[in-house]
Structure 1
Amino acid sequence: MGRNRRSGFWRSLNQAWRGVLYTVRTQSHVQFHFVAGTSVLLLAWWSEVSRFEWLILIFAIGSVIGAEVMNSAIEIVVDMVQPNFHPLAGMAKDVAAGAVLVTSLQAAVIGIIVFAPVLYRFAVEMLY
C-alpha cells in the first residue's frame, strides 16, 4: 500500500511537470513571463535586495506564471468542450485572462515598490 502511494505521488509529480513544460513550450505569454521573471531576479541580485524583498518578488513571479498556466489550462478545456464560438466560452477565456492581468499588475506594482529606490540611487550616482 505504501509503495503504491509513493509511485502515485511520483506519477502525479511527473504529470504536473509535463503540464508545465507543455505550457512553456507552446504558450508565448508563459515564455514572456519566464523571461521577465528571470530578468527581475537578475535585477534583484544586482541590486542586492533584502531577503524579504526576494521573497515578495519570487511570490509575485510565481503568482503570474501560475495564473498563466491556469489560464492555459482553462483555454484548453474550453476549446475541447466548445470548439465553436460561444459567448460563454469566450467569457470564460476572458475571465481567466483577467486573472493573469490582475496578477501581472500586482507584480508590476511590487516591482516598482522594490526597485524604484534602488534605481533612483543608481541614477543619482551616475549623475555625480
Structure 2
Amino acid sequence: MKNRPFRERMGFALEGIRTGWRREASFRTQTMLAGCALLALLVLRPAPIWWGLVAVTCALVLALELLNSAMEAVIDLLHPGIHPSIKIAKDMLAGAVLTISAAALVVGVAMVVATGPAFLAEIGL
C-alpha cells in the first residue's frame, strides 16, 4: 500500500473528504461556516494576511473534524461497547474540534473589528 502514485493518493484523500461530507453533519456544518467566512472575506476585502489567517483556521477546523470522525470510526469498530476510557477519548477529540473552532471564531471577530470601520466608511456609513 505504500508508495502509490500521487494521483492515486490524491484520490484517497478526496474520497475521505467526500465520505466526511456524506456521513458527518458536523463536517457539513463546518464547511458551510467556512463558506460564510469566505463570503465575509469577499465583502470586507481585508488585507491579505486576514485571508491567510481565515484560510488556515478554516482548514484546521475541517481537518480536525475529519480526524475526529476517523478516530471515532476506528474506536467504534475496535470497541463498540460503552467504556469510560472510550468516552474520555471521544470527548477529548470533540474538545480538540471545539478548541480550534473557538480560535477560528476569534480570528473572524478580530478580522471584522480590524476591517469593519474601513468597510463602513467605504460604503458611506
| TM surpasses 0.5 | yes
Distance apart, 1:26 and its partner CA: 1.1
Mapped to 1, the partners of 2:94 and 2:63 lie a distance apart of 12
2:80 pairs with one of 79, 83, 86:
83
1:37 pairs with one of 29, 34, 47:
34
TM-score by length of 2: 0.88
Residue pairs, 1:13-24, within 5 angstroms = 13-24=10-21
Residue pairs, 1:1-128, within 5 angstroms = 5=3, 7-120=4-117
Distance apart, 1:20 and its partner CA: 1.0
Which of structures 1 and 2 has the larger relative contact order (alpha carbons within 8 angstroms, sep 6+)? 2
Mapped to 1, the partners of 2:86 and 2:80 lie a distance apart of 9
Alignment: residue pair count: 124
Mapped to 2, the partners of 1:38 and 1:92 lie a distance apart of 30
Does the residue aligned with 1:20 lie in a helix, a strand or coil? helix
Q: Give the counterpart letter for 1:78 in structure 2.
A: I
Q: 1:51 to 1:123 in 2, by over 3 A?
A: closer
Mapped to 1, the partners of 2:95 and 2:120 lie a distance apart of 35
CA root-mean-square deviation = 2.1
Distance apart, 1:28 and its partner CA: 0.7
Mapped to 1, the partners of 2:119 and 2:45 lie a distance apart of 12
More helix by share: 1
Mapped to 1, the partners of 2:123 and 2:52 lie a distance apart of 29
- In our comparison, the structure showing a higher alpha carbon Rg is 1
Give unpaired runs (5+ residues) of structure 2.
Answer: none
Give unpaired runs (5+ residues) of structure 1.
Answer: none
Does the residue aligned with 2:46 lie in a helix, a strand or coil? coil
TM-score by length of 1: 0.86
